Homo-oligomer: A and B are copies of this chain.
């Protein structure tokens, strides 16, 4: 049997597009003891992957031409030589953009590799609110952002995979005003109508500083920065004393070979606030606590999962390019095979 994989064709000189990737077919070797064969159903399409498509040094190594585009997938066990992986069970696992994966059952896969029980939550939830984006939002809003009743909260890329969950968590934690920034009227409507944001700012419509002053006239207690870029300086000038400016990533800068400078940091002194950056991997010891909390929120309907599904592994390159252009709402997934639980 073969697996079909999407690989890096070559480092793009400019924007990432479908031509950045090449589809290759490879025969699967026999399973060894402790391994299982997965038929994959979904794979994630993430900004973090896009960083690894660039030639320059990074906090995780770049892919090399020919490499599988690695990431978190969800599949069904179709053959197993591991007592952990029962045939017919669903698991999220670290492999990437491929139809079939041979997976060893190691503890070091980390907490994001988890059994997915379709009786408890949709399979896609395990790659969305119960996955890396869910814990990223939770760390940002709860552990570092420490959102509490009465806070004013601003979230950038608010219709994205992290932002959509983060805004709903801010509501759970009692924020008095939650404003999201997103690109375009459809996303802005989604923020208010579906996700329960109090207001949305369309970053394509008018000056963003004016819009922030209009929507948050008394300043910002907590900002979740999903984008980086020039917006950082604009928001910092509007932080309230003892505010928390929390950075999950800087997707606006990921296409640049040389990272741009940041704001002059005397603003943190004048305005008396903190900046906190993090990766979810730095907080995996909190995963069980996160997972229990998120299961409750999904069950009660306090958090609605947002997933954005692109059909077909052969569309993965387009799915990535489109996400970098900002056309997804929620966690973008590629559907590689039919989801038998639907």
Question: Cα distance A111–B278 when bound, in Å?
Answer: 37
Is A274 interfacial (CB 8 A cutoff)?
A: yes
Oligomer: number of copies? 2
B261 x A248 contact (CB < 8 A): no
| Closest chain B residue to A232, Cβ basis | B265
Is A340 interfacial (CB 8 A cutoff)?
A: no
CB distance from A8 to the nearest CB of B (A): 22
**Which among A253, A260, A264, A265 has the highest number of chain B CB atoms within 10 Å?**
A265
Report how many residues on chain A are interfacial, defined by Cβ distance under 8 Å.
33
| Residues on the B chain within 8 Å of A274, using CB | 144, 274-277
A277 x B266 contact (CB < 8 A): yes
B228 x A270 contact (CB < 8 A): no
Main secondary structure of the interface of A (DSSP, over half): mixed
**Which among A228, A242, A271, A278 has the highest number of chain B CB atoms within 10 Å?**
A278
Known A-B contacts A274-B274, A274-B276, A276-B274; A264 and B269 likewise in contact (beta carbons under 8 Å): no
| Residues on the B chain within 8 Å of A278, using CB | 268-269, 272
Question: Cα distance A292–B262 when bound, in Å?
Answer: 39
Is A94 interfacial (CB 8 A cutoff)?
A: no
| Residues on the B chain within 8 Å of A260, using CB | 264
A268 x B276 contact (CB < 8 A): yes
CB distance from A166 to the nearest CB of B (A): 15
Is A259 interfacial (CB 8 A cutoff)?
A: yes
CB distance from A25 to the nearest CB of B (A): 36
Q: Which of A6-60 contact B (CB under 8 A)?
A: 59
| Residues on the B chain within 8 Å of A277, using CB | 265-274
| Closest chain B residue to A248, Cβ basis | B269
A264 x B259 contact (CB < 8 A): yes
| Residues on the B chain within 8 Å of A327, using CB | none
Question: Cα distance A266–B260 when bound, in Å?
Answer: 10
B261 x A261 contact (CB < 8 A): yes
Question: Cα distance A261–B278 when bound, in Å?
Answer: 22
Is A71 interfacial (CB 8 A cutoff)?
A: no
Question: Cα distance A259–B269 when bound, in Å?
Answer: 13
| Residues on the B chain within 8 Å of A307, using CB | none
Is A326 interfacial (CB 8 A cutoff)?
A: no
Is A263 interfacial (CB 8 A cutoff)?
A: yes
| Closest chain B residue to A264, Cβ basis | B259
Question: Cα distance A187–B265 when bound, in Å?
Answer: 27
Question: Cα distance A271–B249 when bound, in Å?
Answer: 12
Is A341 interfacial (CB 8 A cutoff)?
A: no
CB distance from A59 to the nearest CB of B (A): 4
Is A300 interfacial (CB 8 A cutoff)?
A: no
Is A250 interfacial (CB 8 A cutoff)?
A: yes
B262 x A264 contact (CB < 8 A): yes
Question: Cα distance A273–B144 when bound, in Å?
Answer: 11
| Residues on the B chain within 8 Å of A248, using CB | 269
Question: Cα distance A209–B228 when bound, in Å?
Answer: 26
The 27 listed contacts between A and B (C-beta, < 8 Å) are: A59-B269, A144-B274, A247-B265, A247-B268, A250-B265, A253-B264, A253-B266, A259-B264, A259-B266, A260-B264, A261-B261, A261-B262, A261-B263, A262-B263, A262-B264, A263-B265, A265-B277, A267-B277, A268-B276, A268-B278, A269-B278, A270-B277, A272-B279, A273-B276, A273-B277, A274-B276, A275-B276
